[in-house]
Amino acid sequence: MAGPLSHIKVLDLSRVLAAPWAAQNLADLGADVIKVERPGKGDDSRAYAPPFLKDAQGKDTHESAYFCAANRGKRSITVNLTRPEGQAIVRELAQQCDVLLENYKVGDLARYGLGYDDLKALNPGLIYCSVTGFGQTGPYKDRPGYDFMAQGMGGMMSITGERDDLPGGGPQRVGIPIIDLTSGMYATIAICAALAHRAVTGKGQWIDVALLDTCVAFLANQGMNYLATGETPGRIGNAHPNIVPYQTFKTKDGNIILACGNDNLFNKFCEAAGCVHLAQDLRFSTNAGRVRNRDEITRLLNEVFMARPTREWVELLDAAGVSNGPINNIAQVFEEPQVIARGLKFELPHAIAGKVPLVANPMHFSETPLRYEVPPPALGQHTDEILRGVLKKSDAEIAKLKEDGVV
Strands lying side by side in the sheet with 324-326? 246-250, 255-259, 324-326
Q: Which sign, positive or negative, has the C-alpha torsion 386, 388, 389, 390?
A: positive
Q: Are strands 255-259 and 246-250 parallel, antiparallel or unpaired?
A: antiparallel
Is residue 186 within 8 Å of 215, Cβ to Cβ? no
Q: Determine the Cα angle at 386 with ends 384 and 388, to 5°.
A: 65
- Rounded CA separation 255/252 (Å): 8
Residue 217 CB partners (closer than 8 Å, separation 6+):
186
Query: What residues are paired with 358 via a beta bridge?
Result: 346
Residue 290 buriedness (CB in 10 A; 0-12 / 13-18 / 19+): buried
Is residue 289 within 8 Å of 276, Cβ to Cβ? no
Q: Containing H/E element for 210?
A: strand 205-210
User: Can you say how many angstroms the Cα of residue 49 is from the centroid of all Cα atoms in its chain?
Assistant: 19
User: Can you say how many angstroms the Cα of residue 220 is from the centroid of all Cα atoms in its chain?
Assistant: 17
Does the active-site annotation cover 180? yes
Q: Please name the amino acid found at residue 97.
A: C
Q: Determine the Cα angle at 70 with ends 92 and 154, to 5°.
A: 105
3-state secondary structure labels for all residues of 247-299: EEEECCCCEEEEECCCHHHHHHHHHHHCCHHHHHCCCCCCHHHHHHCHHHHHH
Q: Please name the amino acid found at residue 338.
A: Q
Q: Please name the amino acid found at residue 252.
A: K
Q: Which of 43, 147, 180, 208 is catalytic?
A: 180
Q: Which residues are catalytic?
A: 180
